[in-house]
Amino acid sequence: MSANPKTIDRILLGIVLTLVGVGFFIFSSASLGLLARESASFSSVAFTQIALGIGGGLTALFLASRIHYRIWRKTAFYIFIGAILFSCLVFVPGLGLEHGGAQRWINIAGFSLQPSEFLKIAFVIYMATWFSGLKERKLSLTQAVIPFAITTVAVGAVMLLQRDTDTFLLMVGAGAVMFLVQTGRWREFFAIAAAGLVLIVILSFVHPYIKSRLVSFANPDLDPQGAGWQVKQSLIAVGSGGLHGRGFGQSVQKFEYLPEPIGDSIFAVYAEEFGFIGSFLLLVLFTAFVFRGYRLAARAPDDFGMLLTLGLITIIAAQAFLHIAAMVQFAPVLGLPLPFISHGGTAMLASLGAIGIVLNVSKYQKTK
């Protein structure tokens, strides 16, 4: 292993930049659906996506790639606490914004920001710090699991109050994968997974919107004009694409039919316009992203770098595949944006910043 930093991994960078480029064209087409609804929204979301999302995100990627990744370990606790407090700002009257019944956003200088996107990154950094120190501190398995549980409960309290169950489950899943890789304890891993399933069942009774999503996934025809609407319209869009698609900008479903065509339903718009072939190529890109990211994790110079890379790649990839799966009724509609593609300046900013961290780890990867 070389002590001197090398260049960043250009293959992963190329994959991500390709996704961002493809995403911009998909977003441009999908956002045309807003013109039929509200012209003011089109200019607003386009500016946010370009300025905050792509512009700010690429800047964050560049800066994060130049910060030594071990600095994140030294400041992990403070980053995590800061992210928790930042996420609590959504509950401040006059600052927090509500959309679709969820209190997930804050308004700063005219920009709508979603703090939970940064909390995802902070959670992975903190978990990577804790799990990587197990061997050094010679902690028992119980001593390792309890802090993970406490951290998860703290995050869950904030996220569930925001009605951001989907992001919370992503974070728990990424944490569980990091735990498994570091400890190799399958029994405890399945215990965490079982606890997650029990939590979903409990939440479905506490929060009716979760139950409606599960029911619409099982049978969208039970409420075709309500909870099942997005599932049915997504399937129509994907099916209408056929093999080659209708062509760029030619989606019909994005006009008045698909809810959130630039967000939760953007893959359905893409599949309608570019068909099975285009959808397959996009899946290939995300699959290449996963394989390259995990390869970099395996070559990381230490446990912290490995877990940090593993967690960040996992949380982005899981979100991508769950979004796509929901559009073809392979998973419940969770309201997750498609990374690097869907509208959401904060999501793009956080995701590209996370890739910058991974790229810095890649500078110090082991050599054969």
Can you tell me the distance from the alpha carbon of 234 to that of 346, in angstroms, rounded to the nearest whole number? Answer: 25
Q: What tokens were used for 4?
A: 């001197």
Can you tell me the distance from the alpha carbon of 66 to that of 362, in angstroms, rounded to the nearest whole number? Answer: 11
Q: Which backbone phi and psi does 111 adopt, to 5 degrees?
A: -100, 140
Residue 292 lies in a domain: yes
- pTM equals 0.90
Number of domains into which the chain is organized: 1
H/E segment holding residue 96:
strand 96-99
Residue 227 lies in a domain: no
Task: Count the alpha carbons within 13 Å of 93 in the hemisphere toward its beta carbon.
Answer: 0
Q: How far is CA 34 from CA 1, 37, 51, 263, in A?
A: 52, 5, 19, 12
The contacts of residue 181 (CB under 8 Å, 6+ apart) are 306, 307, 310
Q: How far is CA 37 from CA 31, 40, 91, 344, in A?
A: 10, 9, 29, 19
pLDDT at 38: 57
H/E segment holding residue 111:
strand 111-113
Low-confidence stretches of the chain (pLDDT < 70) are 1-4, 33-43, 100-101, 136-144, 204-207, 368
State the distance between the two ends of the chain, measured CA to CA, in whole angstroms. Answer: 8
Closest to 131 measured CA to CA, from 147, 153, 154: 147
Residue 93 lies in a domain: yes
**Per-residue model confidence as pLDDT tens digits over 184-216:** 777 777 877 777 777 777 776 666 777 777 777
By the 8 A CB rule, do 231 and 217 touch? yes
Q: How far is CA 274 from CA 26, 269, 298, 305, in A?
A: 10, 9, 35, 38
Q: In which residue are the tokens 């944490």 written?
A: 175
Residue 230 lies in a domain: no
Residue 266 lies in a domain: no
Bridge-based pairing of strands 96-99 and 111-113 is unpaired
**Per-residue model confidence as pLDDT tens digits over 306-318:** 999 999 999 999 9
Domain boundaries, position 313: 10-188+286-362
Q: What tokens were used for 84?
A: 């928790």
Cβ count near 18 (within 10 Å): 14
Residue 116 lies in a domain: yes
By the 8 A CB rule, do 269 and 258 touch? yes
Residue 39 lies in a domain: yes
pLDDT at 1: 44
pLDDT at 330: 85
For residue 227, the one-letter residue type is A
By the 8 A CB rule, do 292 and 18 touch? no
Residue 169 lies in a domain: yes
For residue 352, the one-letter residue type is L
By the 8 A CB rule, do 16 and 362 touch? no
> Taking each helix axis from N to C terminus, what angle separates 10-30 and 345-362, rounded to the nearest 10 degrees?
170
pLDDT at 2: 47
Can you tell me the distance from the alpha carbon of 214 to that of 208, in angstroms, rounded to the nearest whole number? Answer: 10
